Amino acid sequence: MNQTMLMKLQYNQIIEKIQEKAIGEHSKALIADWLPPSDLATVQKRQTETKEARIILDSSQHVPFMGLSRIVLLMDQVRKGLILTPSDLVECGDFLRSSRLIMKFFEKNQYQTPTLYAYSRYLPDLMEIETAIETKISNQKIVDTATTQLAKIRRKKIEVQKEIQEKLMKFIRHSKNKEMIQESMIVKKGEHYTVPIKASYKNKVAGTLIEESNKGQTAFIEPSAVSKLNEQLNQLVMEETMEEYQILAELTGYLAENETLIDQAIETITVLDCIFARGKYSREINGITPKVNKTEYIHLIEGRHPFLPDDAIPLNFEIGETYRGLVITGANAGGKTVVLKTIGLLTLMAMLGLQVPAKEGTELAVFDHVFVDIGDQQNLENALSTFSGHLKNIGEMLPKVKRHTLVLFDEIGSGTEPNEGAALAVAIMDEMYRKGALVVATTHYGEVKRFAQEHEDFIPAAMAFDQESLSPLYRLIVGQVGESQALWIAQKMNLSATVLEKAQQYIDKAPFKTTRESFSQQPKAVAKKIEALILYQKGDRVEWTENKKVGLVYQDDGQEEVQIFVEGQRVDVLRRRIRLLARREELYPQDYDLEQLFTDFHERKQERDLLRGSKKAHKRLDKEAKARRKNQ
């Protein structure tokens, strides 16, 4: 199944929804690569996993997933020999604690969720590392009691800091220093404890100038009385840093030594995270566990497309038991394409292990291939490119089609001449069917409908249509041929009875009326002459053959003379004196304003200025009017 076909069925959006429910970044990355398996046993196992996850979720229990978001990244850092920070180690500790609690959680729920319990038994016992991290780090910091040496260093550090504070306060309170002090406070500058001194006294204080204020009015001085204590404090800080580094290195080393077991825990918990992501999304769409088979049988009971509103009409659909092909007909915007997408997407969801939004009793087949030809024709330039695109897509499918293949066609054969399109559609469906595929198609072609009616293993179906309200009912009726409702809609839109009657006659194979009507009052000879004339369009480029001047056609009423625009003037010229150089379609864009070709730039500018209310333009107009009156 290629990505393009999966995207046509919005499979990628389902994957994104599941990713949103996952906790770990590693889980999200794995989910992004998920493809629907074609093995029945694998699908059944995944459905069981999702069902058990739903049991836990529906009972309002919470699996203790913790520390999962960055654990893979952190273990990569450990493998590279980096020393983890206290906050990183706390995350690792959370993950290890989560591993232990998850094991207990599923042990408690083992009778309700035996499959998930079996997974949890792969979780290793890592409590020793968990305890080591927990006892040495708290609130993202290494605790004093992490080692005896660290406790000793930090005690001594507090004592020295206290002594520095006392000496500085004594300095501040001393009467002989009051006049020199800018503010009675202790200010720490870097690693130094200082007192703010007035700049004019900075050379009169025994001590070291550490820093000056921006305006130069204050000098921050470390009094000589505390210099030695500050040096002692700095030494203790260095010893503390070294001891903390040793503790972090030791804890990181524990993780490195148990890398294999931790990776095993990551793998197991990631599997559980992915299963619960499926369960959470299944719960969000109110899904049920479908029965799955490898017998090519689909039975949808009130199935709903997961991206449609809750009040959308559910789909009842069956194929693969009494017939292997189904052709859906009906009005435009009646829901035919939604039927195809619902069948395809719910099939893929079931194969992925998701529950599906449907009623109990729903059964879905596990296919080797799901092929789709659903194209947004409005995004293509023309009908030929649409048709070519469909054929290219179908041409790539055909060699791969075999048993256990589901093929979905939207408006098969469209985009070309109807007879040829219908013939190709029937031939393609028949070939797919002969190769062993289940085929579901939508069409407007009568021949394709007839094929479904006459084929022993195909059945027609129609989208219900309310003729009173002129609206689709979005309900599939199997065994009935639907009409496109074109005449009915035309009648409601007040097309004349004459047109509708003729259209019905042509539907019933009446011959076309092909006789000529007479519209002219002129003699036949004149009419023939006029028929031979070249009629020009406004904006056509022409040559005035008498003087070789090039101009633009301004007006052609079909008479002997044509009005052309040459050198800023409109001139009436005999038709036979004009030679066409280029049609206007070749010269200008479709929505080009032709009027501006026949007016002077300054005139156009003045007109625009007047329209927008320019005072300057109005003054200029008044001035011109006065000049004309004066000349008169």
- Please compute the mean of the pLDDT values over residues 567-596 and round it to a whole number: 83
304/224: higher pLDDT: 304
pLDDT at 621: 60
Residues 295 and 154 in one domain: no
- In this structure, of 65-69, 85-89, 284-288, 510-514, the range with the lowest mean pLDDT score is 510-514
- Looking at the predicted structure, is the pLDDT value of residue 4 above 90? no
Q: What is the pLDDT of residues 371-390, one digit of tens each?
A: 999 865 433 334 445 777 78
For residue 478, what is the domain's CATH number? 3.40.50.300
For residue 531, what is the domain's CATH number? 2.30.30.30
Q: Please, which pLDDT band fits residue 75 given cuts at 50, 70 and 90?
A: very high
Residue 509 domain-assigned?
no
Residues 373 and 473 in one domain: yes
Which helix or strand (DSSP H or E) is residue 242 part of?
Answer: helix 227-257
- Looking at the predicted structure, is the pLDDT value of residue 243 above 50? yes
Residues 356 and 232 in one domain: no
pLDDT at 603: 62
- Please compute the mean of the pLDDT values over residues 81-107 and round it to a whole number: 96
Q: With 0-12 CB in 10 A as exposed, 13-18 as middle and 19+ as buried, what is 446?
A: middle
Residues 388 and 451 in one domain: yes
Of 484, 511, 541, the residue at which a domain comes to its end is 484
pLDDT at 356: 98
449/418: higher pLDDT: 449
Residues 438 and 325 in one domain: yes
Q: pLDDT exceeding 70 applies to what percent of the chain?
A: 88
Q: Please, which pLDDT band fits residue 118 given cuts at 50, 70 and 90?
A: very high
Q: Please, which pLDDT band fits residue 178 given cuts at 50, 70 and 90?
A: confident
Phi, then psi, of 582 in degrees rounded to 5: -160, 140
- In this structure, of 185-194, 278-287, 430-439, the range with the lowest mean pLDDT score is 185-194
**Contact at 8 Å (CB) between 351 and 369?**
no
Residues 296 and 312 in one domain: yes
- Looking at the predicted structure, is the pLDDT value of residue 83 above 50? yes
615/509: higher pLDDT: 509
Residues 10 and 85 in one domain: yes
- Please compute the mean of the pLDDT values over residues 315-341 and round it to a whole number: 89
pTM beyond 0.75, yes or no: no
d(CA 184, CA 191): 20
Q: With 0-12 CB in 10 A as exposed, 13-18 as middle and 19+ as buried, what is 597?
A: middle
Residues 439 and 465 in one domain: yes
Residue 138 domain-assigned?
no
Q: Please, which pLDDT band fits residue 569 given cuts at 50, 70 and 90?
A: confident
- Please compute the mean of the pLDDT values over residues 398-417 and round it to a whole number: 90
Residue 500 domain-assigned?
no
For residue 175, what is the domain's CATH number? 1.10.1420.10
Residue 57 domain-assigned?
yes
3-state SS string over 299-348? EEEEECCCCCCCCCCCEEEEECCCCCEEEEECCCCCCHHHHHHHHHHHHH
Residues 608 and 625 in one domain: yes
- Please compute the mean of the pLDDT values over residues 591-620 and round it to a whole number: 66
- In this structure, of 337-351, 517-531, 589-603, the range with the lowest mean pLDDT score is 517-531
Q: Please, which pLDDT band fits residue 42 given cuts at 50, 70 and 90?
A: very high
- Looking at the predicted structure, is the pLDDT value of residue 342 above 90? yes
Residue 200 domain-assigned?
yes
Residues 27 and 92 in one domain: yes
Of 204, 239, 274, the residue at which a domain comes to its end is 239
Domain extent for 157? 148-239
Residue 253 domain-assigned?
no
Residues 160 and 193 in one domain: yes
- Looking at the predicted structure, is the pLDDT value of residue 56 above 80? yes
Residues 572 and 465 in one domain: no
Phi, then psi, of 409 in degrees rounded to 5: -115, 130
Residue 14 domain-assigned?
yes
- Please compute the mean of the pLDDT values over residues 605-631 and round it to a whole number: 63
From the CA atom positions of the chain, what is the Rg in Å? Answer: 43
Residue 466 domain-assigned?
yes
Q: pLDDT exceeding 90 applies to what percent of the chain?
A: 52
- In this structure, of 35-39, 521-525, 543-547, the range with the lowest mean pLDDT score is 521-525
Number of domains in the chain: 5
